[in-house]
Amino acid sequence: MIKKWSYPLAILTLIIFFAFRLTYESDVILNFDKKVAEILFGNRYIEFFHYIGEPKFVVWVAIILIVYLAWIAKNYRGMLFVVLTFAVGNVLNQMLKKWVQRSRPEIEDQLTSFSFPSGHAMTGILYLFTVAYLLSENNTKARQIQLWIGAIVLTILIGLSRVAGARHFASDVLAGWCIGYTWFIICVFWYERRKRVFNKNNIK
């Protein structure tokens, strides 16, 4: 079960996302993006982690997770939860990109899609947090901590890899994390509410 403080944090991350949306062309954010890019650009060790945020990799994770939920955990509500976080989250990211239409950093052979918010950062936090959340259910406290630490570390590295590869600005990544976390908590709220209703009806 998600902690109570996660809900106000999701509201805060939503506010931060819109703050970036309104200010990403300001001198403050542009200077911030430039400084972070100077620190991370060309770091091959960090850049490697973009592979675990690639759409093909995420799809395979989704398939494996759904198979696990269907045949081992028998958690059919969890399967819909995966669809909401993985698939709907990706659609939301594409909609936001088309809404904002921010160009990517100017480098040779750059991607042609829009930059804000970062898809890798947003889908990264969504799929990694979903995996950690679902696998934490009915698990030991120590294992839960391990799962969440792993998810958070990998989420950060995936996001930073996009700046290291000059595929995104740092503000794109931060915005992706923020809106991704907000959407994750919205999905968790639905999932836990449906779970409580189901358990209550079964008791009756």
Q: How much is the pLDDT for 112?
A: 80
- Ramachandran assignment for 109, one of left (phi > 0), alpha (psi -120 to 50 degrees), beta (any other): left
Residue 184 has pLDDT above 60, yes or no: yes
Please state the domain extents for the chain.
6-195
Q: How much is the pLDDT for 4?
A: 85
Cβ atoms of 37 and 170 closer than 8 Å: yes
Residue 204 has pLDDT above 60, yes or no: no
Q: How much is the pLDDT for 199?
A: 67
Tens digits of residue pLDDT in 53-85: 999 999 999 999 999 999 988 899 999 999 999
- Split at pLDDT 50, 70, 90, the class of 196 is confident
Q: How much is the pLDDT for 10?
A: 97
Q: How much is the pLDDT for 202?
A: 64
Please list, residue by residue across 166-177, b when 16 or more beta carbons sit within 10 angstroms of its beta carbon and e when fewer do.
bbbbbbbbbbbb
Q: Which residue has the tokens 């430039």?
A: 34
| Residue 80, amino acid | L
Gyration radius (Cα) of the chain, Å: 18
Alpha carbon distance 187, 173 (integer Å): 21
Residue 203 has pLDDT above 80, yes or no: no
